[in-house]
Structure 1
Amino acid sequence: MTFKEFNFKEQLQKSIDDAGFKEPSPIQQEAIPIVLSGKDMVGQAHTGTGKTAAFGLPVINMMKGQKGVEAVVIVPTRELAMQVSDELFRFGKNLNFNTATVYGGQSYSMQLRNIDRSSIIVATPGRFLDLLRGGKINIKPSYVILDEADEMLDMGFLDDIKEIFTFMPDDRQTLLFSATMPQAIKNLAKTILKEPEFVTLTKKDVTNSKIKQTFYVVDERERDDALIRLYDFKNPTKSIIFCRTKKEVDRLSTFLVSQGFMAKGLHGDMEQRQREEVIRAFKSSKLEILIATDVAARGLDVNDVSHVFNYHLPFDPESYVHRIGRTGRAGKEGVAVSIVTPHEFRMLQKIEKNIGTKLESKIVPNIDSVKEK
């Protein structure tokens, strides 16, 4: 199947061609016709499956181009807000649709000016609710999309989201996307959606078969050593190393820089400007290693990440799926390497059960084989 078969408006098809999209991904193939039919929808899909285009393309196609905001997308983090906003702008630019990004830590007046000029708002819940509560914006969007709903739930945004919907018009089309479907999300869907259609990507689509997943068993004190050795042995072009805590990110980035690597950390305590600089440097390959916490890397979309390293296994299987999904994107192959101590075997088994595949166990290469490589 190709995108041409959806019979989008000519200018939108041009944006799709410009972006180099040929064939829709599984979620796009299933979701786009439902959205075009005007029905509410719940989509279960992970980041990296092409969700933004799955809702963005049909919504932009249906937008009338009248003055005022026609569509609102609510996302958990600023990074994701910026990314989704960029992508939607790219799709809508030939139809003269602007997007406004709304998140905390940025001046109200600038955001309000942008909203005035835009047809689409991409917002994080807290700041968006502020604007609605304060009567600073009065909008009647025809389309409201909740993206990564389970993330927003984990971050404690459930009440904010419920309140946001009290400001939204009744005759809207609502779409909800979530990687997992806990009971709270099902309950939320019942209250904000009308007779929705469900689209679920099956287990086999959860982790990309093009990602080679391996793990190496070490003692706790050998982690740094093992990481450096594996890094030298595998020689990645661009990689992300995941840590559990901000403190670990800071320590590891200092350590890697002292070893001569082009590395920088990314976590929630950094200022917005710093974070944007780091992400830009990583995208433009000025940095070869990004060391990040799970929260900081949510929705980070960089196409040519060759390797993902888990310095520690994450606390839950969903985060593992999310982490390794940063590599092997856009049909390329990827490698996911986890450093594991015997204490973490139970977590490893939990992850394997969740993703339905076994990770391959390997031995950390010795110094001689690294030198030879």
Structure 2
Amino acid sequence: MKMEDLKLSPEVTRAVKELGFAEMTPIQEKCIPEIRQGKDVVGQSSTGSGKTFAFGLPILEKIEPGKGIQALILTPTRELCVQVTDAISTFGKYTHAKAVSVYGGAGIEPQIHALRRADIVVGTPGRIIDHIRRGTIRFGSVKILVLDEADKMFEMGFIEDVEFIIANVPKERQTMLFSATIPDEIHRLVDKHLKSPVIVKTQVRVAKNLLNQFYYDVNSYEKFSLLVHLLKKSPEGLAIVFCATRREVDVVARNLASQGLRAMAIHGGLSQNRRLDAIDALKNRSVNVLVATDVAARGLDIKNVSHIYNYDVPKTSDEYIHRIGRTARAGMEGDAVTLLAQRDHDNFRAILRDHTIEIQKMEKPELEMVKFDRPQRFSRESRYGGEDRRGYRGGGRFGTRRSSGSSRGRRR
């Protein structure tokens, strides 16, 4: 379906043409007509599907500038908050509607000032609650509520905050919820707060002709050395390395940098400035490797990613597909590489139960083992970046053998 078929207002049409949008994505084609009719909507789609446009465009059509906060959009992360605000401001720039970002880690006084003129507020739950308790945000005029990346808000422990915020928003409203996955907790949220919602699902499509999927089955203590080897083979590429925890992200990023690779970390434990610095550094190519958690990477719009590395294997096929969907975009080829060690086999088998996923096994190349420095609390891990299957700490011939029943230093 073409954008011109929507018969948008002249102001929005002008901005859309300037952005070069001609065809709607599946999520836009299915959601926009329902939202324009005032229906509650549940949209299941991944990052990069165009969902911000899907809910943002109808919101702009419904807003009357200068009449208070009429739309509230909740996001799990600061980066997604800024990104959604920028997108709405861009394709709504001729409508005079004012979109404002509200998130933690930034000064609250400028936000208080901006909120006085806001028509649309995009915010993270914690900072929105700060403003509610200060009395610096009022939702009496809100007629649209959007919960973006709802599954990640649940994973990050924000559901109670979301419930508190919803209790402060008028009951007579239009509600939209967007989520990459719909676990039971999100179903309960939908049943409680949405009225006869239209369910829209768009399949996450992996461009098999452009995306190469590989895996290497290695010893845990070889994993980091293999990652370094592969990254150095493609020095001009733009890569995202996924790890399971914030701590692992920090350790891997630091060790990659010590090997001469231009790598930075991004996760929810970093300050706002450091997170934005990492994103800017990747976009301007002062670094070409971003080490990230799933939560931090969700919602980031980073173009021209050539390689995805699963340093830690995701637990589900959905999460795997969302990770690898960040490469092989816009007609460009991409590689998705999974580093599989003994402890990853259960997760990997779960991924392969999705028979649409085809991953080719690669032979392990001859590796130069490189040093991997890990804080003392991780002493169970090999100096080369993983646990020695023989049960030795330190990975060398003079390492100390662990007893088979020991749980000291267990990875989290």
- Deviation of 1:290 (Å): 1.0
Q: How does 1:162-311 map to 2 (within 5 A)?
A: 162-202=163-203, 205=204, 207-209=206-208, 210-311=210-311
Tell me how far 1:279 sits from its aligned partner. Answer: 0.9
**8 Å Cα contact 1:16/1:91 also seen in 2:** yes
CA contact (8 A) 1:15 1:91 kept: yes
Aligned to 2:131: 131
Cα displacement string for residues 95-143 of structure 1 (whole angstroms, at most 9, x for unaligned residues): 1222111112222221111111221110111221232244222122121
CA distance in 2, matches of 1:197, 1:43: 8
Partners of 2:31 and 2:200 within 8 A in 1: yes
| Structure 1 Cα separation of the partners of residues 231 and 155 of structure 2 | 33
Alignment CA distance shift 1:84-1:330 (3 Å): farther
Measure the CA separation in 2 of the matches of 1:283 and 1:14.
27
1:247-295 Cα offsets, whole Å, 9 max, x none, are 3323322322232222112222222111111111111222111112222
1:46 corresponds to which residue? Answer: 46
SS at 1:93 equivalent:
coil
> Would the alpha carbon gap of residues 290 and 53 (structure 1) be closer, same or farther in structure 2, given more than 3 Å must change?
same
Q: In 1, are the aligned partners of 2:65 and 2:98 still within 8 Å (CA)?
A: no
Query: Equivalent residue for 1:141?
Result: 142
What letter matches 1:72 in structure 2?
L
Pair 1:152–1:144, CA change in 2 (3 A)? same
Paired position in structure 2 for 1:153: 154
The 1:196–1:245 alpha-carbon spacing in structure 2 relative to 1, beyond 3 Å, is closer
After TM superposition, the structure 1 stretch with the greater mean CA deviation from structure 2, 90-99 or 227-236, is 227-236
2:67 maps to what in 1?
67
**Structure with higher helix content:** 1
Q: Relative to 1, partners in 2 of residues 1:330 and 1:172: Cα closer, same or farther, differing over 3 Å?
A: farther
* Structure 2 letter corresponding to 1:143: I
Q: Tell me the distance in 2 between the aligned counterparts of 1:319 and 1:9.
A: 37
Contact map agreement 2:41 2:175 (CA 8 A) in 1: yes
Letter in 2 for 1:173: Q
Measure how far apart 1:3 and its partner are: 0.8
- Counterpart CA distance in 2 for 1:53 and 1:355 is 31
How far apart, in 2, do the equivalents of 1:227 and 1:179 lie? 28
State the Cα deviation string for residues 288-320 of structure 1 (Å, max 9, x = none). 111122222121110111111111213444432
1:21 matched residue in structure 2: 21
- Amino acid aligned to 2:16: I
Q: Secondary structure at the match of 1:94?
A: coil
Q: Which runs of 5+ in 1 are unaligned?
A: 369-373
Question: Counterparts of 2:330 and 2:51 in 1: how far apart (Å)?
Answer: 13
Question: Which residue does 2:84 correspond to in 1?
Answer: 84
Secondary structure of the corresponding residue to residue 255 of structure 2 = helix
* TM-score calculated relative to the size of structure 2: 0.83
Does the CA-based 8 Å contact 1:321-1:355 persist in structure 2? no
Please report how far the alpha carbon of residue 35 of structure 1 lies from its aligned counterpart in structure 2 after TM superposition.
0.8
Deviations for 1:205-230, whole angstroms, at most 9, x for unmatched residues? 35454432211111111112211222
Structure 1 residues 312 and 144: CA distance shift in structure 2, 3 A: same
For 2:360 and 2:266, the matched residues in 1 are separated by: 29
8 A Cα contact 1:27 1:45, kept in partner? yes
Partners of 2:261 and 2:164 lie apart in 1 by 47
1:314-361 CA deviation, whole Å, 9 max, x = no partner?
A: 344443233222223345432211111244222112112247312111
Distance change >3 Å, CA 363–CA 351, structure 1 → 2: same
Check the 8 A contact 2:315/2:351 in 1, yes or no: no
How many residues are paired up?
366
2:374 match: none
Q: What per-residue deviation string (whole Å, max 9, x for no partner) do you get for residues 123-173 of structure 1?
A: 111221232244222122121111111111122222221221222123321
For residues 327 and 236 of structure 2, the distance between their equivalents in structure 1, rounded to whole angstroms, comes to 11
Distance 2:331 2:352 in 1: 23
SS of 1:76's partner is: coil
* Structure 2 CA distance for partners of 1:54 and 1:138, relative to 1, 3 Å: same
- Bigger drift between 245-254 and 2-11 goes to 245-254
Aligned to 2:364: 364
* TM-score, scaled relative to structure 1: 0.92
Q: For the Cα contact (< 8 Å) 1:46–1:206, is it kept in 2?
A: no
Q: CA offsets, 1:26-67, max 9 Å, x none?
A: 111101111111111111111111111111112112222243
Judged with a 3 Å threshold, the aligned counterparts in structure 2 of structure 1 residues 20 and 187 are, in CA distance, closer, same or farther, namely same
Q: Is the 8 A contact 1:45 1:179 kept in 2?
A: yes
Secondary structure of residue in 1 paired with 2:265: strand
Q: 1:74 to 1:331 in 2, by over 3 A?
A: farther
